[in-house]
Amino acid sequence: MPFEYSRAYDLYVVLGDPQGPPLWSWDEWSKAVSILNPWVSSSRGPAAVQSTQFVEDGRQDIKFGRIGWNDKGHQKWTHNSSVPNSESRSWRFLQTEVWAPSRQQCTRDNRPPDFWFAFRNEGYWKEPSLKFNPLAMLGIPLDDPRRPREGPGEIVRALANQLSAVWVAHKQRPWALSTGGSFFKDAIGDLITVGLFKPGPVHKNPLTPAAFAEDWERLG
């Protein structure tokens, strides 16, 4: 059975204020967890978190092992939590993804996640001037009967408020785009890394709808 790339999603982009506190800090992530948790807990299986971080020189990645969606897991990768403590001061955060259920279960099921959230530190590359930070993305399938009654709008507004968002956008699209036959490209799970924006220095060019590789509806 092929992976169900055609599953349709509400997909959101939230671009935060670069002057705001980092979402990967323990205090800020704890706030985000309370926003995301009703959606994560309604998925068909346990969620898993993957965080990509490096030591200060950027040459060696941090090995976190398995990260669950629980207090122990959240403390493992966030900065200034009670677990890493001063150790996290030497980490360079790049990005974190939340798959619910886990990526491994999705592969076994041949079905994309019931909930997907990811965010990236635009300051990782030490750009002198950032138009936004972080870049956050949220995907919620249209066909999941366990969707909370309030719908995705409330969670997006809460995240946008927390991040003092400079840009919020929405579209509906499948998990990946068909290129004909059984071939697909630009999976939602890849957009946090590549494919969201057109090629070019996004922080040096004007932030307009034309900067995006696909058509989006701006919400704020």
Asked if residues 22 and 76 have their Cβ atoms less than 8 Å apart, the reply is no
- DSSP letter at 194 equals T
Model pLDDT for residues 78-121, shown as the tens digit of each residue: 999 877 555 787 899 999 999 999 999 999 999 999 999 999 99
pLDDT in the model for residue 145: 75
Q: Tokens 């699209």 belong to which residue?
A: 173
pLDDT in the model for residue 121: 98
pLDDT in the model for residue 202: 94
pLDDT in the model for residue 149: 63
Phi, psi of 58 (to 5 degrees): 75, 5
Q: What is the mean pLDDT of each run of 10 residues along the chain (220 residues)?
A: 86 97 97 94 94 87 94 94 72 97 96 97 94 97 75 88 97 91 87 95 93 94
Q: What is the pTM of this model?
A: 0.94
Phi, psi of 175 (to 5 degrees): -55, -35
Asked if residues 162 and 21 have their Cβ atoms less than 8 Å apart, the reply is no
Q: Using alpha carbons only, what angle is made at residue 12 by residues 6 and 17, rounded to the nearest 5 degrees?
A: 155
Which of 132, 50, 65 has the alpha carbon at shortest distance from 98?
50
Asked if residues 175 and 131 have their Cβ atoms less than 8 Å apart, the reply is no
3-state secondary structure of 25: strand
Dist. CA 41–CA 103, nearest whole Å: 15
